[in-house]
Amino acid sequence: MTQRMILSLSLACLGASAAAAQSVPAAPVSQDAKMQWFREAKFGLFIHWGLYAIPAGEWKGQPVPGIGEWIMNRARIPVREYEQLAARFNPEKFNAEAWVQMAEDAGMKYIVITSKHHDGFAMYHSQVSKYNIVDATPFKRDPLKELAAACARHGIRFGFYYSQAQDWHEPNGAGNTWDFGPDNKKDFDQYLRGKAEPQVKELLTGYGPVCLIWFDTPRMMTPERSQRFIDIVHNLQPATLIDGRLGSQGDYRSMGDNQIPNAVVPGDWEVPATLNHTWGYKKDDNDWKTPEDLTFKLVDIVSKGGNYLLNVGPTAEGVIPQPSQDNLRAVGRWLKVNGEAIYGAGPTPFGDELGTVDKTRRGKDGKPLFVVANAWRCTTKPGKLFIHLFKWPDGSFTLPDVKGKATRAYLLADARHKPLKLRQQGGRVTVSLPKTAPGEIAPVLVLEMAAN
């Protein structure tokens, strides 16, 4: 059977309407063509969902510190105990349509979900290991198949997180030293060839077009081992992107978790980030970032050239926590009005607005402290500067060093785009603004520039 036939069959399994909505990706003509959707998308939904949602941060009545999906590792839970969670996993409230609708309402353009996290449990129907949601739980459904179909219906791209190296369930996978001893004594290639590589093949042949594979924590990943995954992806779905954590260079750079760079970074990159302090659900973590903060971070990242992949950790019942939903939808309402300044937008041509280095103070890394400024940010499109005003100026806003001639200014929150009074002297552009800020969170001022 050819790869194209395998993919067509997979699409048929997703349902006719889903198949109609997303065609099988042809081999991309160039790296630029392959990256195009990612550069346009800017905002994606990360989902960490697995057995760890049952203990939700607590084991045998004791809170376990750290991120929720690491509970097996942090509490040194033996495989034979942890795997019993599967018999209790029955997320009856799971509704793929509702999850994807929420992502759409939030203005997110792609979804990346944990198909297998470090605990080794496959959240889809794997033929490679019975330790999967269909064969080992009373739920017996494949939520990734349902999500793939819902994403196709909504025109949202769909990708998989896959923990290629750490697998705490397998004797030869990396990471589980409490059951299986030190990693350097393991037959890691036996694990890779016997589980990880065939599972990645399943994901690329059973779920329609996969926009990206999000590999993570590349322990023991030599260039040769990484290349085997690259070959699998390129052979089965050449348009699928590979993130920056496989173990060799991917299609784009993955920044550290919640790490937003201080300046514009050239190239394609993404910041994976949490809404609270965990990825997998933890019942006692209710320290949610506000819609204002999330919007600022989205704009900040886009103004530096990157994408924002923002995480939710659904419960064991299959529900995305309500505060996560509410805060993401608030960002979505802002994007409904101001999305032109985000989707497909490029970085700031300025830079001084991002902050300053305070040489008298040191950050955690021991380097001089970078003090983030948060009054405004700038994103760009050909012929347009978008100024995101997080602090509403008193009467007017001035840009001191604009290249070219500004021809028109207006606010995206004003549906009629009524021109605002504009003055320019050399590079200094001043726009008169209404007394009160229109719309929610950060009104966006557009400056149209004359073609050179």
Task: Catalog residues that contact ligand FHN under the rule CB under 6 A.
Answer: 67, 69-70, 216-217, 257, 272, 279
Shortest Å, Cβ 285 to ligand FHN: 14
Nearer to ligand FHN, 142 or 216 (CB): 216
Give dist(CA 438, CA 222) in Å, integer: 53
Q: Is 142 helix (H, G, I), strand (E, B) or coil?
A: coil
Shortest Å, Cβ 309 to ligand FHN: 8
Give dist(CA 448, CA 269) in Å, integer: 27
Nearer to ligand FHN, 49 or 397 (CB): 49
Nearer to ligand FHN, 217 or 262 (CB): 217
Give dist(CA 124, CA 136) in Å, integer: 11
62-81 core/surface letters (b: 16 or more CB in 10 A; e: else): eebeebbbbbbbebebebee
Nearer to ligand FHN, 71 or 378 (CB): 71
Nearer to ligand FHN, 167 or 216 (CB): 216
Q: Is 72 helix (H, G, I), strand (E, B) or coil?
A: helix
Give the closest residue to 108 by CA, choosing from 160, 48, 40. Answer: 40
Give the closest residue to 39 by CA, choosing from 379, 390, 416. Answer: 379
Q: Nearest-5° angle of CA 348, CA 353, CA 359? A: 125
Shortest Å, Cβ 27 to ligand FHN: 29
Q: How many CB atoms lie within 10 A of CB 407?
A: 14
Shortest Å, Cβ 401 to ligand FHN: 37
Shortest Å, Cβ 127 to ligand FHN: 25
Give dist(CA 316, CA 374) in Å, integer: 37
Q: Is 204 helix (H, G, I), strand (E, B) or coil?
A: helix
Shortest Å, Cβ 257 to ligand FHN: 5
Using the structure block, give the residue that is written with the tokens 């081999």: 27
Give the closest residue to 341 by CA, choosing from 371, 298, 283. Answer: 298
> How far is CA 108 from its chain centroid?
9
Report the chain's C-alpha Rg in angstroms: 23
Shortest Å, Cβ 258 to ligand FHN: 9
Shortest Å, Cβ 216 to ligand FHN: 5
Nearer to ligand FHN, 218 or 347 (CB): 218
Cβ-based neighbours of 370, under 8 Å, separated by 6 or more: 262, 355, 356, 357, 358, 363
Nearer to ligand FHN, 132 or 164 (CB): 164
Shortest Å, Cβ 96 to ligand FHN: 21
Nearer to ligand FHN, 44 or 272 (CB): 272
Nearer to ligand FHN, 207 or 215 (CB): 215
Q: Minimal CB distance to ligand FHN: which residue?
A: 272
